[in-house]
């Protein structure tokens, strides 16, 4: 395949007019393609960016990863690919341990089947982000308090065995009993993230000093960042090895705070996530998240019980658009936060996350207004059956 007349996204976060060549599902040098009877695609002067990677979301199109079925994961993966998200690392909720084990086992089985029988119409399954159960009841958000547990290394290993090693992130509330010892015990096996926590600055910083390296949806489900009590946000700022998730759906974080966070952390430490739930891509109405009822109206999803935000109903590509058009984040920076940065965090940057010769040819073509024109997955143009 030869893609011409397009502004190509580069690893330095800039765009350059040029061509893209694809052969055998990988980005290729021109000489490897020229002379073949290759498919030619006119980019019409728009943008070519890498396929997006969402490391934290729950579902879409009526499905949730915690449904625990192959059908649900397949439906999720088809929708995500159709909107330009070509790599997925879905998140679990705070559920009973045995139920989580079954969900993780289903995810691992799906991943193996996908490797054996690739389908370019579906986003690649890259692992799992466990948002619970080792969190704080004080900041549980849409998590079910009945299933919250203290950190337990043995239970984590049960999760990882069920997942066949595919758990990439495990969330903890560092202020709770045993949490810091847990961080030190598992830090070499998984990314430990601070999630749904009521930790003050000292507790959060201690966790990061002991080996935690990630922050789940910064600002949400944690204490506010203030001048005398900087909390988790301040600890993230003071821990250069930590990467932080941001939900740029226009609901969870004010645009001024998003801009301030880039100034505070720098563009290389921020990962855009959607945190989308099953109502994404669906009409307004009542849905569920982690067994709890959620009302969805427009781009707001709130718990029926107490009105707390319950994830988002915005896919990651729309979050990128919102960051650029409504939050004044430069396009090159926003793209990095949804492609290169998550790929680096997951440890898959050698094979995906940029338009680089030898990497997987996962590509999104946008027009000059950032509307989706086409998705190319594994070097093949999607037919759009997931839309």
Cα separations in angstroms, 136 against 133, 298, 354, 360: 9, 29, 37, 39
Q: What are the residues facing 288 on neighbouring strands?
A: 293
Which residue is catalytic, options 54, 64, 124, 275?
A: 275
Query: In this structure, is the dihedral angle defined by the CA atoms of residues 184, 185, 188 and 193, taken in order, positive or negative?
Result: negative
- Structure-token pair, residue 318: 């729309």
Q: Is residue 306 classed as helix, strand or coil in its secondary structure?
A: coil
Cα–Cα dist 4/19, whole Å: 5
Q: Is residue 160 classed as helix, strand or coil in its secondary structure?
A: helix
Cα–Cα dist 152/149, whole Å: 8
**Quick check: 21 and 27 in contact, CB under 8 A?**
yes
Cα–Cα dist 111/229, whole Å: 42
Cα–Cα dist 192/285, whole Å: 35
Cα separations in angstroms, 324 against 185, 213, 268, 301: 40, 27, 17, 22
Cα–Cα dist 194/272, whole Å: 16
List all residues 6 or more positions away from 130 whose beta carbon is below 8 Å from its beta carbon. 91, 92, 100, 159, 167, 169, 170, 171
To the query of whether residue 293 is one of the catalytic residues in this protein, the response is no
Helices 153-162 and 179-186 pack at an angle, to 10 degrees, of 40
**Quick check: 237 and 264 in contact, CB under 8 A?**
yes
List all residues 6 or more positions away from 31 whose beta carbon is below 8 Å from its beta carbon. none
List all residues 6 or more positions away from 41 whose beta carbon is below 8 Å from its beta carbon. 1, 2, 3, 4, 365, 374, 381
Active site members: 275
């Amino acid at each position: 395949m030869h893609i011409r007349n397009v502004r190509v996204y580069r690893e330095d976060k800039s765009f350059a007019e040029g061509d893209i060549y694809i052969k055998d599902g990988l980005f290729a040098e021109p000489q490897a393609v020229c002379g073949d009877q290759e498919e030619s695609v006119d980019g019409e002067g728009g943008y070519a960016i890498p396929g997006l990677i969402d490391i934290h979301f729950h579902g879409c199109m009526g499905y949730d990863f915690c449904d625990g079925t192959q059908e649900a994961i397949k439906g999720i993966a088809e929708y995500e690919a159709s909107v330009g998200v070509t790599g997925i690392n879905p998140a679990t909720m705070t559920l009973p341990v045995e139920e989580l084990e079954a969900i993780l086992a289903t995810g691992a089985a799906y991943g193996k089947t996908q490797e054996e029988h690739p389908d370019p119409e579906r986003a690649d399954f890259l692992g799992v982000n466990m948002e619970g159960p080792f969190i704080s009841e004080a900041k549980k958000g849409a998590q079910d308090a009945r299933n919250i547990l203290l950190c337990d290394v043995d239970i984590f290993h049960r999760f990882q065995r069920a997942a066949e090693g595919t758990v990439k992130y495990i969330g903890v509330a560092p202020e709770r009993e045993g949490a810091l010892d847990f961080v030190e015990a598992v830090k070499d096996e998984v990314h430990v993230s601070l999630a749904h926590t009521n930790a003050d600055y000292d507790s959060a910083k201690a966790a990061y000093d002991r080996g935690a390296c990630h922050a789940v949806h910064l600002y949400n489900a944690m204490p506010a960042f203030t001048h005398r009590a900087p909390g988790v946000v301040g600890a993230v700022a003071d821990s250069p090895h930590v990467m932080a998730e941001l939900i740029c759906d226009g609901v969870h974080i004010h645009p001024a705070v998003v801009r301030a966070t880039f100034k505070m952390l720098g563009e290389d430490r921020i990962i855009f996530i959607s945190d989308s739930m099953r109502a994404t891509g669906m009409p307004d109405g009542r849905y569920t998240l982690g067994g709890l009822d959620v009302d969805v109206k427009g781009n707001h999803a709130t718990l029926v019980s107490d009105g707390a935000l319950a994830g988002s109903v915005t896919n990651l590509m729309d979050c990128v658009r919102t960051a650029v058009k409504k939050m004044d984040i430069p396009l090159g920076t926003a793209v990095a936060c949804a492609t290169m940065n998550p790929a680096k965090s997951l440890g898959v940057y050698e094979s995906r996350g940029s338009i680089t010769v030898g990497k997987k040819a996962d590509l999104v073509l946008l027009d000059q207004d950032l509307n989706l024109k086409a998705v190319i997955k594994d070097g093949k143009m999607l037919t759009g059956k997931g839309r």
